Chains A and B, each alone.
Chain A
Amino acid sequence: MSVRWKDLRLTGWGRGPASAAQAARPERASAAAEALAAARGEGAALFARGAGRSYGDAAQLSGGRALLTARLDRILAFDAATARVECEAGVTFRALLDTFVPRGFVPPVSPGTAFVTVGGAIAADVHGKNHDRHGSFGDHVDWIDMLLADGRIVRTGPDAEPELFRATLGGMGLSGMILRAGFRLLPGSPALAVHARRIANLEEFFAAFAAARDSATYSVGWVDALARGRSLGRGIFETAEFAAGGAAAPARKPLPVPFDLPAFALSGPSVRAFNEIYWRRVPSAGREDVRALDAFFYPLDRLSDWHRLYGRRGFYQFQSVVPDGAALPAVRAMLETVASGGNASFLAVLKTLGSEGRGFLSFPMRGVTLALDIPRSAGADELMKKLERISCDAGGRIYLAKDAVMSPETFRATYPGLPAFEAALQRLDPAGRFATDQSRRLAIGGRAA
């Protein structure tokens, strides 16, 4: 059967400039291979796209061919004795949770939304609130079935085609299309015992993380990005452990955000008020509560389409990790830059990361990571540049799953695995068939936009 393509305009979760692409949506591996062959026959570049939850331009390519994985959504094996799962690339974390939490298992690593796909989680080598303890998603992957640029389907793992494996974990889809993967779940339950406490400033935050890092399984800091002066870096620090035998709170339906809010809804004063209320909610002495898994891991998923809150112009998410030694001054400088810029940020999230990932381009390193939303209003690009500079000067790096505007120079300077990655691509995909707007912007493999 001939492959039918559908014209789509694709953008990232931050709703930046969309790119027109022709998309196929294979329902089985053989159909994916046919689509790849058809694209190749026409000399077109292509890329895989999961749930489109990366923020920037990583899952789009102007004039390219998209292979959507939404219908490759089957769980292929599960062994409760070893906690091993096999599934197709388009299976979402939501599906994994719905299927395995009732049996006492959770995904080993969870990003802040359950809408992501397993393919996307591997391609970005995602991290969660347990990175110190459990590493990134790729650390739990046993094997991956890849559809390569030349049309072959190859199984790769730490010991099988290891170069392909390392180019795929965190490789942002450039090593080929992930079709299936095998990975291990962790024991878990529907609820967590969460300890939350109010934090007065950044120094206190760092002290809290330092103390919790080796003892708490999950930890996260919510930072009020608008607080300045002595309160700079104030926020709420949460640590959590799975509650034994905890009952699940009833599932709540997501609240839709059905329209694009006008820009004034996000003006400094309203966000400031929001942050103040949020912060005051938590007693300074801290409190313990039992929270449903979804409420702890995916608080934003309650608002489906919350990204529309930022209006039509969309927003950036800045996320970088800075090595421990340089983290405090760098994070302070970033927060000062944001607070003085007046670019409101609902969400600033602080986490610690434990070690490097297995992929050539895996984001994590031992250090502290800060993530914040920046509406694309006037001055946003300049602000992003400043943050990029601070991060880079401190020896940090920017997360490709969030990135929309990093310069190729910063990228090259901060990802030491890049030469090895490019060497792998040279072997796997010499013609550069797999490409994205991001890979072109960053001139990966010397192939500039």
Chain B
Amino acid sequence: MSDTWLILGASSAIARAFARVAAIRGADVLLAARDIDDAGATAVDIAIRTGRRAEVVAFDATDEAAHAALVERARAFAGEGTLNVFLAFGAMPEQSAIDADPMLVGPTIAANFTSAAVLLHRLAPVLEARGAGAVVALGSVAGDRGRLKNYVYGSAKAGLHAYLQGLRARLVRKGVHVVTLKPGFVDTAMTWGLPGMFLVASPETIAAAALDAATRKRDIVYAPGFWWGIMTIIRHIPERIFKKLNI
């Protein structure tokens, strides 16, 4: 019986890389994405390269009414195999854009937190019933501390981190493991050309770390690992100093 990964937000570079490596390691993948033509190309690519089953399902995270059908589809796709979930959707408008238009706050929180929580809440009982599998959700180092340059996105991710902690406690009781993956800067379309990027990791590195974390049942993982050190320092800077920093 083969493993299945449901990949939510399959058009992002990290999700594409994850789908590829999961399939290389023998899993079937169901790609849930808004742009199904694009995801279709990814699915064909994976099927040709790996010989695994790769299919596409239309998915808009904020269309919460459609979540139930998606979960049904994933259940059918996985069949008797283990269903795992890789949650990779999100959106990161520039803070300056949000500052200029407060109406962007809601959608940013919705895209990164609310819709993820709603969908995971719908998936939870299904996973509990199956009694196996893993959830890997993309948090962010931005969620570890509110920063001048990125705090609306960061607060949504902070919310997601807290949500995942609770979900982890809930699902572990039923044999399902939850990983909070916190990538640092990743070389994706989201960060391309942004100033101030350093130690940028490839999507492939993050994808491999994600799969590894699921296999080894790790709870909260920084990727690459050195971000744990960086964030430990950043978390420990006293607020009265931190508030004046330009980061």
Interface bin, chain B: 10 to 19
Chain B proximity of A233: nearest CB distance (Å): 44
Whose C-beta in chain A lies nearest to the C-beta of B203? A71
Q: For the complex, give the distance between the alpha carbons of A184 and B49 in Å.
A: 17
Which residues of chain B come closer than 8 Å to A78, judged between CB atoms?
A: 48
Q: For the complex, give the distance between the alpha carbons of A27 and B13 in Å.
A: 8
B192 A75 Cβ-Cβ under 8 A: no
Which residues of chain B come closer than 8 Å to A98, judged between CB atoms?
A: 49
> Would A76 and B41 be within 8 Å (CB), given that A4-B194, A27-B13, A99-B49 are in contact?
yes
A74 B45 Cβ-Cβ under 8 A: yes
A74 B192 Cβ-Cβ under 8 A: no
Which of B44, B192, B194 lies in contact with A25, CB distance below 8 A?
B192
A447 at interface by CB-CB < 8 Å: no
Which residues of chain B come closer than 8 Å to A281, judged between CB atoms?
A: none
B193 A74 Cβ-Cβ under 8 A: no
B193 A75 Cβ-Cβ under 8 A: no
A27 B189 Cβ-Cβ under 8 A: yes
Which of A6, A7, A31, A75 lies in contact with B44, CB distance below 8 A?
A75
Q: Which residue, A4, A74, A95, has most C-beta atoms of chain B within 10 A?
A: A74
A28 at interface by CB-CB < 8 Å: yes
Which residues of chain A come closer than 8 Å to B219, judged between CB atoms?
A: none
Interface residue ranges of A108-147 to B (CB < 8 Å): none
B35 A74 Cβ-Cβ under 8 A: no
> Would A75 and B45 be within 8 Å (CB), given that A4-B193, A5-B193, A25-B192 are in contact?
yes
Which residues of chain A come closer than 8 Å to B45, judged between CB atoms?
A: 74-76
A77 at interface by CB-CB < 8 Å: yes
Which residues of chain A come closer than 8 Å to B212, judged between CB atoms?
A: none
Q: For the complex, give the distance between the alpha carbons of A193 and B83 in Å.
A: 46
A25 B189 Cβ-Cβ under 8 A: yes
Tell me the number of A-to-B contacts counted with CB atoms below 8 Å. 42
B140 at interface by CB-CB < 8 Å: no
B64 at interface by CB-CB < 8 Å: no
Q: For the complex, give the distance between the alpha carbons of A99 and B42 in Å.
A: 15
B192 A4 Cβ-Cβ under 8 A: yes
Whose C-beta in chain B lies nearest to the C-beta of A7? B193
Interface residue ranges of A12-31 to B (CB < 8 Å): 24-25, 27-28, 30-31
Majority secondary structure of chain A interface residues (helix, strand, loop or mixed)? mixed
B80 at interface by CB-CB < 8 Å: no
Which residues of chain B come closer than 8 Å to A75, judged between CB atoms?
A: 44-45, 48-49
Majority secondary structure of chain B interface residues (helix, strand, loop or mixed)? helix
Q: For the complex, give the distance between the alpha carbons of A142 and B8 in Å.
A: 35
Whose C-beta in chain A lies nearest to the C-beta of B41? A74
Which residues of chain B come closer than 8 Å to A5, judged between CB atoms?
A: 193
Which residues of chain A come closer than 8 Å to B13, judged between CB atoms?
A: 27, 71
Interface residue ranges of A27-76 to B (CB < 8 Å): 27-28, 30-31, 71, 74-76
Q: For the complex, give the distance between the alpha carbons of A31 and B192 in Å.
A: 13
Q: For the complex, give the distance between the alpha carbons of A231 and B92 in Å.
A: 65
Chain B proximity of A142: nearest CB distance (Å): 17
Whose C-beta in chain B lies nearest to the C-beta of A74? B45
Chain B proximity of A19: nearest CB distance (Å): 18
Which of A31, A74, A95 lies in contact with B42, CB distance below 8 A?
A74
Interface residue ranges of A70-92 to B (CB < 8 Å): 71, 74-78, 88
Chain B proximity of A370: nearest CB distance (Å): 38
Which residues of chain A come closer than 8 Å to B189, judged between CB atoms?
A: 25, 27, 31, 71
Which residues of chain B come closer than 8 Å to A76, judged between CB atoms?
A: 41, 44-45
B72 at interface by CB-CB < 8 Å: no
Which residues of chain A come closer than 8 Å to B16, judged between CB atoms?
A: 27
Which residues of chain A come closer than 8 Å to B35, judged between CB atoms?
A: 28
Chain A proximity of B90: nearest CB distance (Å): 14
Q: For the complex, give the distance between the alpha carbons of A99 and B194 in Å.
A: 34
Chain A proximity of B25: nearest CB distance (Å): 15
- 0/1 string, B42-53, CB within 8 A of A gives 1: 101100110000
- 0/1 string, B13-53, CB within 8 A of A gives 1: 10010000000000000000001001001101100110000
Which residues of chain A come closer than 8 Å to B49, judged between CB atoms?
A: 75, 95, 98-99
Interface residue ranges of B90-143 to A (CB < 8 Å): none
Which residues of chain A come closer than 8 Å to B44, judged between CB atoms?
A: 74-77
Chain B proximity of A206: nearest CB distance (Å): 43
A6 B38 Cβ-Cβ under 8 A: no
A6 B42 Cβ-Cβ under 8 A: no
> Would A99 and B192 be within 8 Å (CB), given that A27-B13, A28-B35, A74-B42 are in contact?
no
Chain A proximity of B62: nearest CB distance (Å): 16
Which residues of chain A come closer than 8 Å to B11, judged between CB atoms?
A: 27-28
Chain B proximity of A198: nearest CB distance (Å): 41
Closest 4 A-B residue pairs measured CB to CB?
A6-B193, A74-B45, A4-B193, A75-B48
Pairs across A and B, CB under 8 Å, 12 listed: A4-B192, A4-B194, A6-B192, A6-B193, A24-B192, A27-B13, A27-B189, A75-B49, A76-B41, A88-B41, A98-B49, A99-B49
Known A27-B16, A75-B44; 19 more pairs at CB < 8 Å: A4-B193, A4-B194, A5-B193, A24-B192, A24-B193, A25-B192, A27-B189, A28-B11, A74-B41, A74-B44, A74-B45, A75-B45, A75-B48, A76-B44, A76-B45, A88-B41, A98-B49, A99-B48, A99-B49
